[in-house]
Amino acid sequence: MKTIEETMKGNALGRQDLAEWEKEIRHNPYLGDEDFQHSVSFYFGDRLDSELTEFAERVVSELEPLVHENHLRHNLPEIEHYDGVGQNTERVVHHPSYAAAGDVIYSSRLLDRMAKPGGLLEAMAFMFLSSQAGEAGHNCPAACSAGIIRVLQKVPDFPLKEYFLEKLTEPSYRTNFTGAQFVTEVQGGSDVGANAAEAYRDEQGRWRIQGEKWFCSNADADLILMTARFDPSVSGTKGLGLFLVPAVLESGERNHYTMRRLKEKLGTKTLATAEMDFHGARAFSMGHPEEGFKILMQNVLHISRIFNAFCVVGMARRAFHVALAYAKHRRAFGRLIIEYPLVQENLARIKAENTALTASIFAEAKLQDELDTGKIEGEEGALLLRLLVNLNKYLTALWTVEHIHHSLDVLAGNGTIESFSSIPRLLQDSIICENWEGTHNVLRMQILRDIHRYGIDEIFIKHVESFEIDDPIKNRMNRLKKDLDAFKNAEPNLQSLQIKSVVHQMAVIYAALRLSIEAKDQPGGSKSRCLDLFLREEETAGAGYLEMIQSLVL
């Protein structure tokens, strides 16, 4: 039996190890991440280094502690329907840490960067870092604001347009306008064509909104972008217009909508999500009402899916680094747990897949910038981008949940404790993001329709084969072509099942392609080893395999 002194000595050693782990995870997440630095350098050289270094330092020293405090159950948002004298306020009450966290995120000038043509990828580099603190109650509103900015930049002028754009891009949460997008209704969900909220013109010819919305994130937004049926006689999405609803009217009066209650969600808990009723709320039509759904899909949902991909991959990158640092300092059975091959393999696979996903989403955002600035023209480029955005939204959301889950595994029992690390919150947030802006099946079926309607599979194959690709990627491409031939000859119900494999293969091939391109630009770096592990189709217990995984985590 151990003496009290021996027990206390063991406890002290354990706490000392944990203190060293906590110290390591406070290191700058930009300077400590050579692969992310390389991805930034691949596209920007050293132009963003100082800004990203400074912002990354704020993410770990300021943002993450604020988000942790805001996430405590007694600090979560609440609705205040009336003030002390009985006047209707309809406001969401946040803990002070919420505004402080928002100020850190918006100080990056994320939306101002994105608002400039060709500035999306630059903005996403900062989103990648801010998301390492999780959704944080602000990264979803930032994505919604981005969608509103893109819409405002493309619709005809109206009196408040420039004012709204200016307020949306201010680099301070306390003074800017944040956006929201309310599409979901209780009867529809992903079936947007079933939406019933009505848009009508009042006696002065101004648009008004009547009806309800079921899943309204950033419920206290300053500007709401929402769908409503402008012609009850037109069913489906063709009868839906897109409208901008300000929270406060020009007169200073609150607009005419109310919040029923806040949703109690699995994750993104500091983001106020409500059920809302609109009572003739004043609205501005975004373009011609007949174009509303098209504008929504091409600008709002499209850009949100890009934001979502960066957000979840950033979350997984943080979870990985927290778990890797823990493995280097945690002892079990007389050894540091990083010395155990099963731990090494788990972390190496997360690193390889996350690195491939990062390369994929960087290339996708760059393509969006090239389309926005006219460097790429024509329908084929737009269709390719549409496909890549959907592929990346699917694969990043799917794998991120697994990556964060298996990062939590490394911490074992400590991994489940929300006060111990950020990983439980990252896992909860990633599950919400997995279903936000299109579930896996919604994305698969959209790609299926696009294959039949536009032949996007052929556009994808043409694009991949325009690069010099190595044999492992060629082999996967040949397999995909065979599967596509069989898929196209199958009856419709079978196609609905087979599209799962087609979509997955396409997403993996594109990620491998982009990782291979970055790896060639990083001689001696880890990306070539990440690619080898990423493309390995079977786990083999030989010495070469062990050396491969060890080279990525030791």
When pLDDT is cut at 50, 70 and 90, the band that residue 280 belongs to is very high
State pTM to two decimals: 0.96
- In this predicted structure, what is the pLDDT of residue 64? 98
Give 388-410 pLDDT, tens digit per residue.
Answer: 999 999 999 999 999 999 999 99
- In this predicted structure, what is the pLDDT of residue 206? 97
Give 67-116 pLDDT, tens digit per residue.
Answer: 999 999 999 999 999 988 988 888 999 999 999 999 999 999 999 999 99
Alpha-carbon distance of 28 to 24, in angstroms, equals: 9
Q: Are 264 and 215 in contact (CB under 8 A)?
A: no
**CATH number of the 179-291 domain:** 2.40.110.20
Give 477-486 pLDDT, tens digit per residue.
Answer: 999 999 999 9
Cβ-based neighbour number of residue 99 at 10 Å: 16
Q: What are the counts of helices (DSSP H) followed by strands (DSSP E) for the chain?
A: 20, 11
Query: One-letter amino acid identity for 221?
Result: A
DSSP H or E segment with residue 245: strand 240-246
- In this predicted structure, what is the pLDDT of residue 190? 80
DSSP 8-class letter at 184: -
- In this predicted structure, what is the pLDDT of residue 7? 65
Q: Measuring CA to CA, which residue among 67, 204, 213 is closest to residue 133? A: 67
Phi first, then psi: what are they for 26, rounded to 5°? -90, 0
When pLDDT is cut at 50, 70 and 90, the band that residue 8 belongs to is low
Give 123-149 pLDDT, tens digit per residue.
Answer: 999 999 999 999 999 999 999 999 999
When pLDDT is cut at 50, 70 and 90, the band that residue 9 belongs to is confident
Give 49-75 pLDDT, tens digit per residue.
Answer: 999 999 999 999 999 999 999 999 999
- In this predicted structure, what is the pLDDT of residue 86? 87
Q: Measuring CA to CA, which residue among 477, 456, 453, 482 is closest to residue 467? A: 477
Return left, alpha or beta for 252; rule: phi > 0 is left, psi -120 to 50 is alpha, else beta: left
C-alpha distances out from residue 44 to 40, 125, 169, Å: 6, 10, 22
C-alpha distances out from residue 77 to 64, 98, 274, Å: 18, 9, 11
Residue 542 has pLDDT above 90, yes or no: no
When pLDDT is cut at 50, 70 and 90, the band that residue 2 belongs to is low
For residue 182, the cross-strand partners are 226
- In this predicted structure, what is the pLDDT of residue 68? 98
- In this predicted structure, what is the pLDDT of residue 193? 87
- In this predicted structure, what is the pLDDT of residue 537? 74
DSSP H or E segment with residue 107: none
Q: Please measure the distance between the N-terminal and C-terminal CA atoms of the chain and give it in whole angstroms.
A: 36
Q: Which residue has the higher pLDDT, 3 or 476?
A: 476
- In this predicted structure, what is the pLDDT of residue 365? 98
Residue 544 has pLDDT above 90, yes or no: no
DSSP 8-class letter at 299: I
Which residues, at least 6 apart from 456, have a Cβ–Cβ distance to it below 8 Å? 383, 384, 386, 387, 447, 450
- In this predicted structure, what is the pLDDT of residue 279? 98
Alpha-carbon distance of 270 to 536, in angstroms, equals: 40
Q: Measuring CA to CA, which residue among 80, 55, 299, 64 is closest to residue 179? A: 299
Domain boundaries, the chain: 179-291
Residue 189 has pLDDT above 90, yes or no: no
- In this predicted structure, what is the pLDDT of residue 209? 98
Which residues, at least 6 apart from 242, have a Cβ–Cβ distance to it below 8 Å? 151, 225, 226, 227, 285, 286, 287, 289, 291, 292, 293, 295, 296, 300
